[in-house]
Amino acid sequence: MITLARTYRFAAAHTLRSPHLSGAENARVYGKCAHPAGHGHDYHLEFQLRAPRLTDDVVVGHGWLDQLVARVIAPRFDRRDLNQTFGEDFITTGENLAVAAHRLLAPHLPDGVALTVRLVETEKNSFAFHGQ
């Protein structure tokens, strides 16, 4: 297996809140991140593509991947309010955002290429989803 890892940066705002919890319960579960005014991050989103063999000496073309991310990921993540992008029932935790990015990108990958998404939210918080 060979892995290509490519990282993209995007800025976005969000508020951690569940519509099924009261304000006090949201504050208890999500702490200061539940503040109604929201907050933002400079996220790093890394896509790790694994393949058992190379095509044209690469897992996938870097330019091809850049264009795919620009078309499929950036419009939903970059300079957005993630709560508006993903809807009221979607809780914009790093875990859920990593899963969402995986679900958006994976259908566009060539057969036989496996995907792991790693989302870095802060210096202390990162999340990875392997697609299983």
pLDDT band at 5 (very low <50, low <70, confident <90, very high): very high
Convert the pLDDT of each residue in 30-83 to its tens digit: 999 999 889 999 999 999 999 887 766 777 778 999 999 999 999 999 999 999
Q: Which residue reads 């190379």 in tokens?
A: 54
Q: State which amino acid sits at residue 50.
A: R
